[in-house]
Every structure is written in structure tokens, then in C-alpha cells.
Amino acid sequence: MRIERLKGFRDHYPDDMEIRYDFIKKMMETAISFGYRMIDFPALESMDLYRLKSGTELLEQTFSFTDKGGREVTMIPEATPSTMRMLTSRKDIKFPVRWFSIPKVWRYEEPQEGRYREHIQFNADMFGSDSYEADAEVIGLAATILDSLGLSGQYEININDRYLMELILKELGVNNPVEMFPIIDKFKKVDLNDFKERLLISGIDNNSIERLVSLLKNKIGINDIDNIFKEYGPEIKDRLKRLKDTFLLVSNYTNSKLNFDFSVVRGLSYYTGIVFEAFDTAGELRAILGGGRYNDLSKLFIDESIPAVGFAIGDAVIELLLRRSNLWNYKNNKKKYYVVNISSNPSAHIRILNDIRKSGNIAISEVNNRKMQSLIKYAEGNKCDFLIIIGDKELSSKSISLKDLNTQEQVKISIDEFIKNLKK
């Protein structure tokens, strides 16, 4: 009986996994360089954690079940609720807090290009600061991560503010703007007629729909935002200034384009302020990353509002973008040695293996006693740089035979000299 991989899930073989680990490592290193510290949490959480304030659409996409203790649980569909649960569980944490995590997350939705039912997700969040500097740093971290992967100039960051969107929706006659955000979030993902139909069903009249669509269609520069809100009065002056200041700071982190985009609202219900997404400049892929400010989420756990802003990057769209940019490759700076012991001493090669590994390089031991032609072919197939042979003659002279598999040059060298060169 042959068992197939489940729909919407992926296998990662070594050649692919080496590249995947490499770009995840770059994400980690970038976050650490900003002062963010890594956390982790369970893959399984109480369903109540997501009922609190994640939105009905997300709840419908969960891999959830009742466990043997009668509890409703789910494989985590996102990281933010678990992160907030951890944060509010401790009273000794000093703010501001900078955390990042790299969990696997699960959502039961229709698989498509750049979206699977399971994926790796990098998350970064800052807690304890409500300043525009914090907003800019988090967006700047996201941009710096993409730039570190070689994607500078190949993406743009689209930014909006839910507070401003609520004003617009109220002016269009929407009584509960928050309920409209999941619909607006689908603007770029569904047919325009389908989108308008959803708005009609929600109770918006045709005139207001056309006015809203005209806003959602176009991205503008931050300096043009005043014209959009000139009729809204002086009470939003500070809000607009905050956005402009944020744009200015973010522009110092990256050369990639920044836009104000009314269609970016993020579907999850807990966002309260600035929201942002990054897209490839060709406009061919789904969002590369997304995030925003969610100052009130902590109130679902404790009687206190903790300012919070963060973002998430899924590995699926990043992979597509790196492949299209010919950047899906593994740059390994470590040398790889294939060590073959054909001497009468079964442990003669162990010291060599240990010293190679201690030097930070890779040492692979031959374990099948194959013929020389076969093991050379295997070593080359595994992209080894060198072949080391230890026979009785080499043992007697305390040396090894070292073959460069790139140049095919072979020399005999003393073990002491080889180890000395390794240390260099």
C-alpha cells in the first residue's frame, strides 16, 4: 500500500532544506542584530485562544479537534495569540520587549501558489512602546530581512492605518467598520464584481461602493495623503503626522518603495493602528509578509493594554520570489571532507574526523567498505571538496592521502601538518 503526502503539505529533501535553513538563519541573525530574542511555544493550543479575537474566518480554517481530555484544541494557525499568552503570563518582564519566533503554523484552506496548509513562519514583535519609532523599527526589520536575502528593490511595502480606514468607512455609511475589514482584505484576491457583491450584501450602497473601490485601486505617496483627508477636520492631524514620520524613518532602512495603500487592512480583527504588507514589484505573488499594531490584544488576557506591533513572513512566498530571482541556492562556506579508512585499525580515522569537525568544517565517514571508484563517485555526488584515504602505509608514516575532488590533485601529507592547516 502506497501512502501519499497529504494535500497542501510539503516534503523537503536535503538539497532544498539546506537552502531553506540558510535563509531562515539569515532571518534569525538579522532579528538578533536588532536586539530581538527568540521564543518558542507549543504547536497545540486551546481553541479558546483563537475564539477571543482572531475573526471567524480564521476559526473556520483551523486544524482543530477535541482531545482525549475533552478539551477543544487546535494546531496553531498563527503565532500572535501564543506570543501574547506568554507575555501576559509573566509579571517580571521589562518593557520594551523584542521577541521573534519561527514556528510551523497550520490552516485548512485551499492550497494555491504561495500558500499551503502547513508552512514555516518567521514572526517578530515589539511590546511596550506605542511610538512611531517602534512602528518604523518593526517595518525596518522586515525590510532589512528581505534585503539580507538579496531582494532589495524587488519588493515594495504598502502601508495603511486602520484608524483612518474606520473614518472613511463611517463616512461611507458603515456602522461597524471592523466587520468590513475581512471583506476589504480580499480586494486584491477576488474578482472585482464579486468584491462589490460582498459589499452590497454587507449593506453598503452602490455610490459608496464606487467611492471605496476608487480608493482601494490606487497606491499613493505619503505626501499625497493630506488631499484624501482634507475634509476630515483637524482631529486627525496628529495621526497623519505620525504616518509621515513613520514613512520617513522606514525609508532610512531600505531603498525599496513605500506606498500608502487603502486596500491593506489585514484580515485579523485584533489590529488597531498601522498595518502593512510587502509585495513583489511585479505584482505576481501573494503578500510576502504582513503585520501591524495591535495594542488591545493583551486585554483579552489581563486588565491592561500593552502596546504591540509585529509582523510575520511565511516561507512559501519567499521561496517563490527567491527562485524567480535565481537566489534559491545554498552558499556553503564550509569545506566538506569524505574520509575513508582502509587500514587494519578500525578507529584510525576518528581523530581526523573529530579535528575536521572541530575546525567548523564537515567530515563524512565511509561506512560501506565500497570500492574506490564507487566511493569517489558518491563523494562527488555529495559535493565533497576533498577525499581523505587512510591505509596501513599512511598509518605507519602518520600521514594521509588527500585528494582535491575539484582539481583531482592528490598529495600525501602528515597528519600533524593537515591539522595545522585546518586550524589556519
Q: What is the 3-state secondary structure (H, E, C) of 194-209?
A: HHHHHHHHCCCCHHHH
Polymer length in residues for the chain = 424
Q: What would you measure as the largest C-alpha separation in the chain, in angstroms?
A: 92
CA distances from 126 to 34, 57, 134, 157, 289 (A): 11, 26, 7, 19, 16
Give the C-alpha separation, 246 to 138, whole Å: 11
**Assigned CATH class of 14-324:** alpha beta
| Long-range pairs of 382-388 with CB within 8 A, sequence gap ≥ 24 | 382/336, 382/338, 383/336, 384/336, 384/337, 384/338, 385/335, 385/336, 385/337, 386/335, 386/336, 386/337, 386/338, 387/337, 387/338, 387/340, 388/337, 388/338, 388/339, 388/340, 388/349, 388/352
- Whole-number pLDDT of residue 268: 76
Q: How confident is the model at residue 270 (pLDDT cuts 50, 70, 90)?
A: confident
DSSP-derived pairing of the beta strands 289-293 and 308-314: antiparallel
Give the C-alpha separation, 250 to 139, whole Å: 7
Q: How confident is the model at residue 189 (pLDDT cuts 50, 70, 90)?
A: confident
Nearest to 402 by CA among 391, 389, 383: 389
pLDDT tens, position by position, 4-43: 999 999 999 999 999 999 999 999 999 999 999 999 999 9
Give the residue-averaged pLDDT of 332-342. 93
The pTM of the full predicted model, rounded to 2 decimals, is: 0.91
| Domain 336-423, CATH | 3.40.50.800
List strands edge to edge, sheet with 410-414: 362-365, 336-341, 386-390, 399-404, 410-414
- Whole-number pLDDT of residue 53: 63
All CATH 3.30.930.10 domain ranges of the chain, comma separated, are 14-324
Q: How confident is the model at residue 397 (pLDDT cuts 50, 70, 90)?
A: very high
Q: Residues 6 or more apart from 348 whose CB is under 8 A from it? A: 341, 390, 395
Dihedral over alpha carbons 259, 260, 261, 267 (to 10 degrees): 110
Is the pLDDT confidence value at 120 over 90? yes
Is the pLDDT confidence value at 50 over 90? no
Average pLDDT, the chain: 93
| Long-range pairs of 358-365 with CB within 8 A, sequence gap ≥ 24 | 359/422, 359/423, 360/334, 361/334, 361/335, 361/336, 361/337, 361/422, 362/334, 362/335, 362/336, 362/337, 363/336, 363/337, 363/339, 364/336, 364/337, 364/338, 364/339, 365/339, 365/341
Is the pLDDT confidence value at 311 over 90? yes
Give the C-alpha separation, 1 to 403, whole Å: 45
Cell numbers representing residue 250 in the block: 522606514
All CATH 3.40.50.800 domain ranges of the chain, comma separated, are 336-423
- Whole-number pLDDT of residue 90: 94
Q: How confident is the model at residue 54 (pLDDT cuts 50, 70, 90)?
A: low
Is the pLDDT confidence value at 340 over 90? yes
